[in-house]
Structure 1
């Protein structure tokens, strides 16, 4: 573990997947229904789980057998120690996890009887992961087959990460929570992985322009007199519209319906179906999907084949409560 302002040196051997992102403590409460504005509802006892999109992806990939490292920041507190222990237990490297600067990030999660969740995140130390931290980790970034990121860390840090990607590595981005994305980041994505809500945001739903004059996609053009989301409502239409913004490939996750894969290189759009399972808790399922997808791409799988494996991993993850605790082993994936 590193307690200074820079990541510790990483072994020179290439890792299968480097995740650059968030690490949170998930505080989960079961509810019969979500409260309306101004309403109070009673819930279950609070359960505390290790989470955060970055740590989730690192744990999920390591549990599947990938050589995985995480570049992140946690607080010098009990939640931070919980996260470090979970990463090490899964076999992920914590040598680049920075400690200190702010309390560990926290996610407040409500889960209803159908397994659907609503999440509010307090970034904490995640907001202190800086472009300088990325520059200090240049050797680690250069040793990764695939680099994956999310948006629970500052967007400027993700931009710095893109600028340090070496030739031959692949960049996977899940724009969650959704934000306006510079063209520099969009053009590096291979793939851009997002759910239907995030796809609508990036494409300019609810009156947001899809891209402004500065190459920003998302909410930036809200007052440009916009026509809103002109991509159509079918996932195939949205996938093709997303490709027009610059990513080399796009994957839209569709929950129980699987995923849609679109690739600009061969102009294909493929629907990948998911195994039918009984959902218990969807928390972290998207992170498990993205981790599996990124790892399999690093192994040399085609994008559709990687997505076929990833939907099985995501399906397995929703059959157990919690985020990291629910992530499957290869044997559990095979059982589906």
Structure 2
């Protein structure tokens, strides 16, 4: 039987302005284009898991505004159960992104409704948490909520996958409840205080996470693929070579694909290869959610 996937995390609306150059302080310039995207690490991972074959429920807060209602509609269209997305009296999380002709950008993120995700949201899904569920989390909502969700999920028998991004510290007693953790090199350094410069320092850092009680550590390495460490595997996996157009959201696609494939009981090594293939496919198109491939494309 396939396991259900519960993604707990952030939902943002990205407002993107393109211009020949970035404005200086106090300056007004004329842009060349504008577009609006759905974003947020939680939402990106939920959409990826759903498009790639998972049975996904998304737990998030959005504003009771046009941005929030549009977000919910887009998640429904992606096949996601939206019954646990709440409309709250705080504006939807927003990212204002200015991109110049050289693809340099400056971004201002206002978490908005994401900052209201609380223990009540987690309590609302407690009946969904059992040994037939996989819970996927990131760190773009209040850390206390993430920590509470991990403890509740583990106490109810769920498998817990944590993508510790954006990097911040987590209580030791909570990390012991995580089954699979997927840091990049920066996040790995923050969690372990080890400067990762080669394979030996990578192994040293990874072993610190194992010592904290985490069974599976997957260090994502961008275009180089990932390093996987379990009790039986210590191995680099290469990513397929592609012509990258936009790497935004590739890590989120990796996490969503990983969770979707695991939920179907696929072998661990096949799951890693599938996640790398999905992430590589996503960087060949622009946009975070727009570039997430469908299962049929893989």
- Cα displacement (A) at 1:245: 3.5
Q: Which runs of 5+ in 1 are unaligned?
A: 1-12, 205-228
**Secondary structure, aligned partner of 2:128:** helix
Given candidates 220, 234, 238, the residue that maps to 1:269 is 234
CA distance in 1, matches of 2:103, 2:261: 27
- Cα displacement (A) at 1:116: 7.9
Q: Which runs of 5+ in 2 are unaligned?
A: none
Indicate the RMSD between aligned Cα atoms, in angstroms.
2.7
- Say if 2:22 and 2:105, in contact at 8 Å, map to a contact too: no
- State the partner residue of 2:151: 163
CA, structure 1 residues 185+290, in 2 after alignment: closer, same or farther (shift >3 Å)?
same
Please list the CA deviations of residues 304-332 of structure 1 after superposition, one character each: whole Å capped at 9, or x if unmatched: 32111101110111111111111101122
Question: How does 1:1-12 map onto structure 2 within 5 Å?
Answer: none
CA, structure 1 residues 176+288, in 2 after alignment: closer, same or farther (shift >3 Å)?
same
CA, structure 1 residues 14+140, in 2 after alignment: closer, same or farther (shift >3 Å)?
farther
Given candidates 195, 206, 210, the residue that maps to 2:184 is 195
Aligned residues: 294
Given candidates 223, 234, 243, the residue that maps to 1:278 is 243
- State the partner residue of 2:126: 138
CA distance in 1, matches of 2:289, 2:72: 12
Given candidates 219, 222, 225, the residue that maps to 1:252 is 219
Is the aligned partner of 1:293 residue 2:281?
A: no
CA distance in 2, matches of 1:283, 1:101: 29
- State the partner residue of 2:5: 17
Please list the CA deviations of residues 22-49 of structure 1 after superposition, one character each: whole Å capped at 9, or x if unmatched: 10001234577888x9697976523210
Structure with higher RCO (Cα < 8 A, 6+ apart) = 2
Relative to the length of structure 2, the TM-score reads 0.88
CA, structure 1 residues 119+176, in 2 after alignment: closer, same or farther (shift >3 Å)?
farther
**Secondary structure, aligned partner of 1:324:** coil
Given candidates 295, 303, 318, the residue that maps to 2:268 is 303
CA distance in 2, matches of 1:44, 1:202: 41
- Cα displacement (A) at 1:243: 2.6
**Secondary structure, aligned partner of 2:179:** strand
CA distance in 1, matches of 2:226, 2:28: 34
Given candidates 30, 33, 46, the residue that maps to 1:58 is 46
- Cα displacement (A) at 1:115: 6.6
**Secondary structure, aligned partner of 1:189:** coil
CA, structure 1 residues 20+118, in 2 after alignment: closer, same or farther (shift >3 Å)?
farther
CA distance in 2, matches of 1:248, 1:16: 21
CA distance in 1, matches of 2:43, 2:268: 23
CA distance in 2, matches of 1:144, 1:32: 50
- Say if 1:15 and 1:68, in contact at 8 Å, map to a contact too: no
Please list the CA deviations of residues 185-216 of structure 1 after superposition, one character each: whole Å capped at 9, or x if unmatched: 21122211111221222222xxxxxxxxxxxx
